[in-house]
Chains A and B, each alone.
Chain A
Amino acid sequence: MNVSTSAITRIEGRAVVLRGSDIDTDRIMPARFLRAITFSGIEAHLFADDRAAAQAAGALHPLDGPGAAGATILLTQANFGCGSSREHAPQALLRWGFRAVVAESFSPIFAGNALTIGLVCVTASPHTIAEAMRIAEASPDNAFCVDLEHLHLGCGSTRSPVSLPESQRHAWLTGQWDATSLLLADYDDVERVEARLPYLRTTSRNA
């Protein structure tokens, strides 16, 4: 019953810069693309409306910019992933190729979803983000490194601090981020909780 998930200690690669705060999951994955019964191929619709709007305006969305293909790190601002709980949003980012998102802050549901599927979310100060964005935009080929052991975002010789809840860091470093097998272990403990909950006795009588 054990599921093998592997430890994640660092993510290296090029970065895509997505400026703006409060980027909600409806923008990351518009609802019409949720009309499906699998996640397969969903990455094709990542930021579909924003990308189409940029194209119509004669501009390039960052995901279509130079160096975006093959990038593994997304740099963005505050409250990333707010709104709908749709896991389709982090799934699309992961399937597109991102392995880490560095932001000023995350919506709690997005961060929880990302943890369960292996997409690393770390936060950094607005100053650190702004500087990393400047470097990434100056040359899309610049390589970054999110180091979960030393908790920094590296680029060239620069190192800037990043943070994440200690439980998440521990989960990544030990490979215990897929919680299902942990939840199924020692199930007697769960049964003890069930036995003490009054509503489980009365509602089951009526159901």
Chain B
Amino acid sequence: MAGTLFEKVWNAHAVRLLPNGQTQLYVGLHLVHEVTSPQAFDMLGARGWPVRAPHRTFATMDHIVPTAAQARPFQDVMAEAMAGALERNCRTHGIPMFDLSGGAQGIVHVIGPELGLTQPGMTIACGDSHTSTHGAFGALAFGIGTSQVRDVLASQCVAMSPLQVRQIRIDGALPPGVFAKDVILAVIRRLGINGGHGFAYEYAGSTIAGMSMDERMTICNMSIEGGALMGYCNPDDTTVAYLRGRRFVPGGDDFDVAAAGWRALASDADATYADVVEFDAATMAPTVTWGTHPGQSIAVDERLPRPADMPDAERAGVEDALTFMHLTAGRPIAGQKVDVAFIGSCTNGRLSDLREAARVARGQKVAAHVRALVVPGSQQVRWAAEAEGLDQIFEDAGFEWRRAGCSMCLAMNPDRLSGDELCASSSNRNFKGRQGSPTGRTLLMSPAMVAAAALAGEVVDIRRVLHPGVSS
């Protein structure tokens, strides 16, 4: 029977219908980090339960690690306590851990794919909402809370209800200067930040088919910003080529068997969807958020919305966001002065992101008033970037070149905004206070746009930088 990838993977992992009406779903890969796991391990201990499948859980530390100097003990005693708790829990329960000294540490959603832990057809859970990233491989990957982390540790299962599938078809060639980040911001802008409630998003169409795995990860990563617990792309040649030879991927004949199985998981041509939404890539533009949630965005050459023009339900939210952001209705966003530029995060901290940013930064200088950071998503990304000289390009231009971690995406470490600084950021959330200062302000955009903003000291249209003379 024809089915979607969601249905095939869900059915393969469904253990049974629970008496409470939810489905018991087997979790094939469980990833843990230092922020959302210590309480879960404590709950497990309090109930006297062992970790059921320690070889299916993998740990790293990312949220709290400083990215400037990483010597232990960390200066922040709470960060040190969290790192220590994770190390202790992993040791006690025999859970493999990719720590700072091992060469494989990084943001959990960067290292899972990089190590080949993430594979098509898996169910993947992690106590982090951006677990949707792993859906790029054709996995059902979703964020869970700490009590569910406890459940997975205890049983390797979660209790949840199935989702409907909405196919998001994106066709056509992206114009120059328009990146995966702009695509997902356009999707969220149209469908809303709660439009995905109850849905898994299947990203399909020729634009997605033509994307690299890094780009697909950027798109799936922000599914949750559109209210979708998970998003995925169907496995194809690009998926298989990415995974070949990675550390946890089977080798030799086993690889060919696995790859054939992965391809067979793709949604069938005659699968039915609860909903299909179509986008034309050719009409997309470099996009910038102007407000306090990721759905509040405009093309870089548009003007800020006027509350008076908004539907009643949105007017108060738009007014509040403009006030918080110190932005004036009806003005252009291009030319807006920025104080900080941040390139990194699980959304855009991969090698290809750093290459795009470096292409813009090469031979240029960061504006005198801008503090600019480049934070690789993992140790492997960092070393690969250094091997091709990206660190030198960034440092010559006046960017700080940091070590791997979540950094300024969420300010649980020393990297944060102060006062009402305005940050051009390649991360995923522009919520009030997200970057560490209660009055700090965030403009989300692609890494190339962040680099361009760092150099100019203000928001600029990347199309004019990459192709000067071409009017947009």
Contacts and interface: CB of A to CB of B under 8 A. Distances in A.
Interface in B298-356: 316-317, 320
B276 interface: no
B434 A189 contact: no
B144 interface: yes
A98 B208 CA distance: 44
A180 B229 contact: no
Summarize A's interface: helix, strand, loop or mixed: helix
Given A108-B229, A184-B155, A167 B129 contact: no
A1 to B, nearest CB: 8
Of listed A21, A35, A36, A168, residue having the most chain B CB within 10 A: A35
Interface in A193-207: 193-194, 196-200, 202-207
A194 B12 CA distance: 10
Interface in A111-148: 112-113, 116-117
A112 B144 contact: yes
Given A31-B411, A116-B148, A108 B227 contact: yes
Contact of B82 (A35, A197, A205): A35
A53 B420 CA distance: 13
B164 interface: no
Given A112-B148, A189-B15, A35 B248 contact: no
A176 B21 CA distance: 10
Interface string B22-51: 101010100000011011001000010100
A190 B26 contact: yes
Nearest to B22: A167
A38 B64 CA distance: 15
Contact of B159 (A49, A179, A187): A179
B450 interface: no
Given A87-B147, A112-B148, A184-B155, A34 B21 contact: no
A79 B429 CA distance: 15
B145 interface: yes
A199 B18 contact: no
B438 interface: yes
B467 interface: no
A109 interface: yes
A174 interface: yes
Contacts of A21: 317
Interface in A134-184: 165-168, 170-171, 174, 176-177, 179-180, 182-184
Interface stretch (A22-30, A58-66, A68-76): A22-30
B18 A179 contact: yes
Given A31-B436, A179-B18, A85 B127 contact: yes
Given A3-B47, A38-B42, A197 B13 contact: yes
Kindly state the interface size class of chain B when it binds its partner: 35 or more
Given A22-B317, A170-B20, A183-B159, A37 B39 contact: yes
Given A27-B431, A206-B247, A207-B55, A193 B412 contact: no
A109 to B, nearest CB: 5
B22 A22 contact: no
B70 interface: no
Contacts of B249: 203, 206
Contacts of B79: 35
Of listed A36, A179, A186, A194, residue having the most chain B CB within 10 A: A179
Given A37-B39, A78-B194, A87-B145, A166 B21 contact: yes
A81 B145 CA distance: 12
Nearest to B53: A194
Contacts of A206: 247-251
A197 B28 contact: yes
B145 to A, nearest CB: 3
Contact of B143 (A109, A116, A177): A109
Given A49-B432, A182-B19, A79 B119 contact: no
Contact of A197 (B26, B63, B96): B26
Given A31-B436, A199-B121, A108 B197 contact: yes
Interface string A9-20: 000000000001
Contact of A32 (B24, B320, B412): B412
B148 A113 contact: yes
B81 interface: yes
Nearest to A194: B26
B5 to A, nearest CB: 15
Given A108-B198, A112-B145, A20 B412 contact: no
A167 B432 CA distance: 34
Of listed B55, B82, B148, residue having the most chain A CB within 10 A: B148
Contacts of A30: 433, 438
Contact of A105 (B159, B161, B197): B197
B141 to A, nearest CB: 12
Contact of A82 (B151, B227, B257, B261): B227
Contacts of B22: 167, 171, 179
B99 interface: no
Contact of B434 (A22, A26, A78): A26
Contact of A24 (B16, B161, B293): B293
Contacts of B150: 180
Nearest to A3: B47
The 3 closest A-B pairs by CB, nearest first: A167-B21, A113-B145, A87-B145
Given A37-B42, A86-B36, A193-B12, 6 more contacts: A38-B42, A88-B146, A165-B21, A179-B18, A190-B24, A204-B55
30 contacts: A3-B47, A20-B316, A26-B431, A31-B434, A35-B82, A53-B439, A82-B293, A84-B129, A84-B410, A86-B35, A86-B145, A88-B146, A108-B197, A108-B198, A112-B145, A113-B146, A165-B161, A167-B22, A171-B21, A179-B18, A179-B158, A182-B20, A182-B24, A183-B24, A183-B158, A184-B154, A198-B257, A199-B122, A203-B250, A205-B250
Interface of A: 1, 3, 20-22, 24, 26-27, 30-32, 34-39, 49, 52-53, 78-79, 82-88, 90-91, 105-109, 112-113, 116-117, 165-168, 170-171, 174, 176-177, 179-180, 182-184, 186-187, 189-190, 193-194, 196-200, 202-207
